[in-house]
Amino acid sequence: MIKAAVMGATGYAGAELVRLLSCHPDVQIVFLASHSYVGKKFSDIYPGMRSVCDIVLADDDISKAEESGADVLFLALPAGLASKYVTEKLLSRMCVIDLGADYRLHSADVYRTWYKTEHYSPELLEKAVYGLVEIHRDEIKGKRLVANPGCYTTCSILTLYPLVKNHLIDTDTIVIDAKSGTSGAGRGEKLTSLFCEVNENFKAYGVATHRHTPEIEQELSLASGKDIILQFTPHLVPMNRGILATCYAKLLDGVGDDDVKAAYEMYSSEPFVRIIDELPETRYVKGTNDIDISWRIDKRTGRIIALGAIDNLGKGAAGQAVQNMNLLFGLDETMGLAIAAGSPF
What residue spans of the chain are helical by DSSP H? Answer: 12-22, 42-45, 62-67, 82-85, 88-93, 108-115, 133-140, 151-165, 195-198, 213-224, 257-264, 319-328
Per-residue model confidence (pLDDT) at position 159: 98
Given a cut of 60, whether residue 52 has pLDDT beyond it is: yes
Per-residue model confidence (pLDDT) at position 130: 98
Domains along the chain with CATH numbers: 2-149+314-328 (3.40.50.720), 152-310 (3.30.360.10)
Question: How high is the mean pLDDT of the chain?
Answer: 96
Angle, CA of 126, 243 and 294, to the nearest 5°: 95
As a whole number, mean pLDDT of residues 202-226 equals: 97
Per-residue model confidence (pLDDT) at position 324: 98
Active site residue 196: no
Given a cut of 70, whether residue 61 has pLDDT beyond it is: yes
> pTM of the prediction?
0.96
Per-residue model confidence (pLDDT) at position 193: 79
Write the CB contacts of 71 (distance below 8 Å, at least 6 apart in sequence).
Answer: 2, 3, 4, 94, 95, 329
- C-alpha closest to that of 97 among 123, 127, 131, 126: 131
- Please give the single-letter amino acid code of residue 227: D
- Report pLDDT digits (tens) over 245-260: 999 999 999 999 999 9
As a whole number, mean pLDDT of residues 169-198 equals: 88
- Report pLDDT digits (tens) over 165-175: 999 999 999 99
Q: How far is CA 211 from CA 102, 111, 113, 191, 216, in A?
A: 12, 9, 9, 20, 10
Write the CB contacts of 149 (distance below 8 Å, at least 6 apart in sequence).
Answer: 104, 130, 131, 132, 157, 215, 316, 320
Given a cut of 80, whether residue 344 has pLDDT beyond it is: no
- Report pLDDT digits (tens) over 124-134: 999 999 999 99
Per-residue model confidence (pLDDT) at position 343: 61
Which one of the listed residues 53, 95, 151, 155 is annotated catalytic? Answer: 151
Per-residue model confidence (pLDDT) at position 12: 95
Per-residue model confidence (pLDDT) at position 195: 85
- C-alpha closest to that of 312 among 135, 156, 190: 156
